[in-house]
Structure formats: structure tokens, C-alpha cells
Amino acid sequence: MVYEYIAIFFLFGGFFFLVVGVLGLIRLPDVYTRMHALGKCDTLGTGMVLIGLMLLVRDVTNITKLILIMAMIITINPVVTHLIAKTAYNRGTPMVEGSYVINDYVASQRRRRKSQVDSKLSQEGGEKLK
């Protein structure tokens, strides 16, 4: 029937994305790039496979449980990816050669401190910092 064909499309699409994610895990050179491959491919692939199963099951209770599992995976997977990236950055895990980091947080803090010192000095009539 039509439902089965749509379900087969979603199942094979999700399987394709899962396979691409695992190939990225094998092939890419770095912790950060491996995470970059998996954080997106795994979430999308799992969501598509679960949508395909929902089209096949056709029972209200089980469809509700599947929707709950899909929502949990869609929220949990990016959170875990973010935490792994933060841990890797804090531990100083080496990157692949040729890549660099722009730390916007430290730069904005430095800029704000400098502007505060400037405004204080201008109130007191002194010269500006360079």
C-alpha cells in the first residue's frame, strides 16, 4: 500500500544517514570533526527511521511511545555532543594540523574591560588607554 512505500522511503533514508555518520566516525582525523559528523547524521537518521516505524505500527499507544523516544533522542543527542566538545576543549585535546580557534568569549571580555577602564579615566580627566 501507499503507507508501506512511504515507510520504506523513510527507513532507507534514515539508514543512509546513519551509515554516513559511522563512515565519518571512521574516516575523519580529529575528535571535533568526528563529533561534527555524528551530531547531525545520527539525530536525523534516528528521526527518519522512527518516522518510518510510526507509519508501520498504526496503534495509538505505541505511536505515542515512539514519538516520546524520538523527542528524547532529538533533545539528548545535541546536548551530549555539546558537552563532549566542551570537555575536549577544556582538556586541550589536540586538533588536526592547520586548524585554529577563535575564542570569542575571552576576546569580548577583554574588550569590555578595556572600555570600562577608558570610561573611568575619561571621567577623571586622564588620558585614554591605547
Partner 1 sequence: MINTVLYIIVIGQILFSLLAILRAYSGPTVLDRVVAMNVITTNVVIILLIFAFIDNSYYYIDVAFVFVLGSFIGTLCILKLLREGHII
Q: Where does this chain bind partner 1 (CB under 8 A)? A: 4, 7-8, 11-12, 15, 18-19, 21-22, 25-26, 31, 34-35, 38, 42, 46, 49-50, 53, 56-57, 59, 62, 65-66, 68-69, 72-73, 76-77, 80, 83-84, 87-88, 90-91, 93
Nearer to partner 1, 13 or 118 (CB): 13
Chain center to CA of 130: 39
Closest approach of partner 1 to the CB of residue 89, in Å: 10
The nearest distance, CB 124 to partner 1, in angstroms, is: 43
C-alpha cell belonging to residue 89: 576543549
Cell of 60: 495509538
Closest C-alpha among 3, 2, 1 to residue 63 = 3
Ordered DSSP codes for 87-120: HHHHHTPPPPTT-----HHHHHHHHHHHHHHHHH
| Residue 112, all three cell numbers | 569590555
Shortest Cβ 12–partner 1 spacing (Å)? 7
- 59/119 with CB nearer partner 1: 59
Identity of residue 122: S
For partner 1, give the closer residue by CB, 4 or 109: 4
- Nearest approach in angstroms of CB 129 to partner 1 is 36
